[in-house]
Amino acid sequence: MVLQIKPKQNEQPGALRYTGAFKSEKCEVECITFSRESAHHTKIELDAIDELKIDEKMVTWINVTGIADVDVVVKLSEKLGLHPLLIEDILHVSQRSKFVVESGYTFAIAKMYYMNEAKMMREHLCIAHSENLIVTFQETKGDVFGPLRERIVENKGEVRSSSGDYLFYVLCDAVVDAYFDVMSHISSRLELLEESVLDTQLGTGDELYIMRKEIVFLKNSVTALKDGIHKFISTHPSGKELLVYYQDIEDHLLHAVDTMNVAKEVITGLIEVHASNMGNQLNRVMTTLTIFSAIFIPLSFLSGFFGMNFTHFDWLNEPYGLMYFILACIGIAVFMLSFFKRKRWF
Decide: 16 and 88 in contact? Cβ < 8 Å. Answer: yes
Decide: 168 and 246 in contact? Cβ < 8 Å. Answer: no
Q: What is the pLDDT of residue 238?
A: 47
| Residue among 67, 176, 43, 65 nearest 111 (CA) | 176
Number of separate helices (H) and strands (E) present in the chain: 7, 7
Residue 32, helix vs strand vs coil: strand
Angle between helices 204-235 and 164-198 (to 10 degrees): 160
C-alpha torsion sign, points 276, 281, 282, 284:
positive
Encode burial over 292-309: b for 16+ CB neighbours within 10 A, e otherwise.
eeebeeeeeeeeeeeeee
134 phi, psi to nearest 5 deg:
-125, 130
**Domains with residue ranges and CATH for the chain:** 28-277 (3.30.460.20), 279-342 (1.20.58.340)
Decide: 136 and 125 in contact? Cβ < 8 Å. Answer: yes
In this structure, the number of other CB atoms found within 10 A of the CB of residue 345 comes to 13
The number of C-alpha atoms within 13 Å of 245 and in the hemisphere containing its C-beta is 14
- In this prediction the pTM is 0.77
**130, containing H or E segment:** strand 119-130
List, for the chain, all residue ranges whose pLDDT scores fall below the cut of 50.
1-3, 5, 238-239
C-alpha of 162 from chain center? 34
